[in-house]
Chain A
C-alpha cells in the first residue's frame, strides 16, 4: 500500500498537526468499461472488490454507489459479530467470516476495532434453553467455540444484569461465544475501500444505477446517473434495495424490505464489557468505546423503504433493555436511526447466480449481515471471478426456493442477529 499506516506515519503527521494525511482513496471518473461492476459500496460490496483483487487478481473493477460509501446498513447496524449459527451451511459461512475478522485489521493495515468481547444469547424459557443447548452442540461439532452458561455464571460475568427469579422473564442461562464481539462499522467499510482502491479498484460514489443492460439473456453493463458503464460481469450488493435492482434486471426475489432501527444512549463510564442479546424480550445491547449503550431494536413488520422506524418499536425495545438491566432505566437516549433490511423467508442470504447470465446477486442478509462482511465478500468474489459459487456459498443459491433446500435459520437467529 502506498501510504502504510504505522506508528511512524502517525508521528510524522503529528509534526504537521495531522493536516497533510493523504486521502484514503481516490475519487475517479467512471471508465466506459470494466471487467466487473459491483453495485453498492456497502461493506459487502467493498469486501467483494478487495477479494477480487487480492484472491483472483481481478483489478479492472468498479464499485458504484448511489450515495457515499458505507452509508447504508453498514453504517447503521449494531456491529454484533458471531458465528454460532445452528445449521452446517450457515456455520461454515459465518465461521469463515469470523476467521477473516480475526486477522482483518492487520491484513487491511486499518484498525477495524474488532473486539472479541463475547456475545451472550440469553434463554428465558425451557424451550429456549433446549434450543440453545442444541445449537451449542451443533456449533461444537462444526469446530465453533460455544458454551452454555447458567444464570449464576452470567451474573458473575455481567454484574448489572437482573438474573433474579422474580424478573418477569427470568434468565435461565444462555449460550456464550467468547470469540464473538463487535467491530467498528465505518472502519470496516473504510478499510476495505482503502485497500481495494490501492489495488486499482475504482470506487465511484454519487452514482446511482438506474438500469441493468442486457443483450439477450446476458448482462452487458449498467445505466447510471453518471452515464452508461459496460462490464463483462455485474454483481448486485444493495441490501434493502435488492428488489429494485432485480426488477431492473427482470427477475423476482423472495425478499422483502423492512425498516430496522437502533439507538444509542449518552456516553457513560464502562459498565458493560460484552454483548447481551435476548430473543424472548427482544433487545440487544453493548457499550461502544465512546461509552454509549448501543441498542438494537426490532423491525417494522410492514414493508418499508423509509430509513426510519416506528416509535412503538423503540418503546418495546427500551422495555426489554430495562427488563434485563434495571440500572439503565434512567439513561438518556441520544440518537436513533433506521436502515432498510432485506429479509428472506428462511432468514438466510442469497449469494450466487441470477436468471441473467453474468449477473450475480448477494442479498437477503436481513438483520444480520454485518458479521458476515468479510466472508460474504470472499465467497462472492470467488463467484464473480469463476462464474460458479464456492462450496461455502453453493447452498445459498436463489434456486433453493425452487428446490426446497431452504436453510431455515429462524430458530437459531430469531429476529435479533
Chain B
C-alpha cells in the first residue's frame, strides 16, 4: 500500500484512487487513415515497463479528478504527480 499526493486534495491512501492505465496515449486524429497494425498498437499495446511508468490515476473517493503520476513499478515510489495538459512531466510528450 502506498499514498498518492492528489494535486487537489493532498496525500491520501492509494485505496481512494482508481488506476486509469498508461498515460499519454493519444487517440489518433484520423483513425481511418491508420493501418490495422497502427490501430492495434493504439488500442492494445502497452509499454508495461519494469521501473519508471507514466500512468493516470483518478481520485474516485475524493475530488473525482484525473491526473498523471510517474511511479516506479518495482518499488512503487512515486516520482511526480501532475495534471494532464501541463507539459512539465519528465520525458512525457
A200 to B75 CA separation, bound complex (whole angstroms): 39
- B residues 60-90 near A (Cβ < 8 Å) are 71, 73-76
Query: Does the CB pair A310–B46 fall under 8 Å?
Result: no
Chain A, 275-309, contact with B by CB distance < 8 Å: what is the 0/1 string? 00000000000000000000000000111111000
Interface size class of B (residues with CB under 8 A): 20 to 34
B92 in contact (CB, < 8 A): no
Query: Does the CB pair B15–A253 fall under 8 Å?
Result: no
Query: Number of contacts between A and B (CB, 8 Å)?
Result: 65
| Contact A306 B74, CB 8 Å, known A401-B40, A402-B37 | yes
A254 in contact (CB, < 8 A): yes
A362 in contact (CB, < 8 A): no
Closest residue of chain B to A252, judged by CB?
B45
| Contact A254 B1, CB 8 Å, known A301-B19, A303-B55 | no
Query: Does the CB pair B50–A254 fall under 8 Å?
Result: no
Query: Does the CB pair A303–B15 fall under 8 Å?
Result: no
Count A-side interface residues using an 8 Å CB cutoff.
23
B36 in contact (CB, < 8 A): yes
Q: Which residue, A241, A243, A255, A302, has most C-beta atoms of chain B within 10 A?
A: A302
| Contact A243 B36, CB 8 Å, known A252-B41, A306-B76, A310-B14 | no
Query: Does the CB pair B15–A312 fall under 8 Å?
Result: yes
Query: Does the CB pair B18–A345 fall under 8 Å?
Result: no
- B residues 1-36 near A (Cβ < 8 Å) are 1, 14-15, 18-19, 22, 36
Q: Which residue, A255, A311, A401, A403, has most C-beta atoms of chain B within 10 A?
A: A401
A401 to B42 CA separation, bound complex (whole angstroms): 11
Specify which of B18, B46, B76 is in contact with A256 (CB 8 Å cutoff): B46
Q: Which residue, B15, B22, B76, has most C-beta atoms of chain A within 10 A?
A: B76
A247 to B74 CA separation, bound complex (whole angstroms): 17
Query: Does the CB pair A301–B45 fall under 8 Å?
Result: no
A163 in contact (CB, < 8 A): no
| Contact A303 B48, CB 8 Å, known A310-B1, A310-B14, A401-B43 | yes
A409 to B46 CA separation, bound complex (whole angstroms): 20
B residues with CB within 8 A of A: 1, 14-15, 18-19, 22, 36-37, 40-41, 43-50, 53, 55, 71, 73-76
